[in-house]
Amino acid sequence: MEILLTGATGQLGSDLKPLLIKEGCGVQAFSSSSLDITDREKVFNAIADNKPEVIINCAAYTKVDLAEKERERAFAVNRDGAKNLAEAAQKTGSALIHISTDFVFDGKKSTPYMETDKTNPLSVYGESKLEGENEIVKILKRRIIIRASWLYGVEGNNFVKTILKLAGERESLKIVFDQAGTPTWTYDLAGAVVKIVNDLKAGKKEYGIYNYSNEGVASWYDFAEAIVDEAKGAGIKLNCGSIEPILTSEYPTPAKRPAYSVLDKRKIKAAFDIAIPHWRRSLKEMIKELCRKNGGRGA
């Protein structure tokens, strides 16, 4: 199957590209610099030239706090870029797999969010991603939108690497404990995307919106504690001896974040027969991989 992959050098794209190649797919991979999805003409030309059966969009503006200042840029990438890809896909008959976010929800529920729950983003980032979803839904029938949460990977910048860096420099950390969600390793999400691609290849066309994250629930505080524990277990030297839980109100940020963004994943598991590992198990494996890459060091 011929694939066109955008955002190929980001966290998810870096994990996804080799898995697709391993599955025997022909992959035309574009970084965000080699294909700016906000440039409609370049998007149309790239898709017309490559004629992919499936487009996978991993390109996104993900600087949640900076988006509050850079609203136009966030919407250009997350809404207009998604629209460009959908229109180009419609023209060539390609299917589109698009990665979205749990930030389309406001976090006011206390039970896991289903795909049918009302959206109400609290931030510019969440708004821009939701509008991207809406554009795709209006334009293209052959589309799979995956709402993912709390992504981290071996490549790129993320919470795991930030905690490892800070824990190496400081004796103590203060981390928010009243926001709950599920940390998600990009390698696991990449595996789920590959499973979906294989099902599309086999003629199974379960188009729609899906949730994906690892299993389990954690606060950012829980996540930070686990990162430090797993890192020490992997032999990474850290200075941090304690982590203090704090309220969101004690650590104000430009963008509001949902207090609860745990996702219900029954739909994606049933549609594509996907087994999802617990977040703690995946974190352990990611830190091992990070150590292998960095010669025994963490971030």
How distant is the alpha carbon of residue 150 from its chain centre?
Answer: 7
CA–CA dist 63, 83 (Å, integer): 20
What one-letter code names the amino acid at 274?
I
**Secondary structure (H, E, C), 39-52:** CHHHHHHHHHHHCC
Judge whether 217 and 262 are in contact, CB under 8 Å: yes
Judge whether 3 and 20 are in contact, CB under 8 Å: yes
CA distances from 108 to 103, 112, 146, 177, 218 (A): 12, 11, 21, 16, 16
Could you confirm whether 113 is annotated as catalytic? no
What one-letter code names the amino acid at 1?
M
182 DSSP 8-state letter: -
The DSSP annotation for 49-105 comes to HH--SEEEE------TTGGGT-HHHHHIIIIIIHHHHHHHHHHHT-EEEEEEEGGGS
Query: Helices 40-50 and 82-92, interaxial angle, to 10°?
Result: 30
From 61, 113, 125, 187, active-site residue? 125
Judge whether 183 and 283 are in contact, CB under 8 Å: yes
CA–CA dist 165, 86 (Å, integer): 39
How distant is the alpha carbon of residue 293 from its chain centre?
Answer: 21
Positions marked catalytic: 125
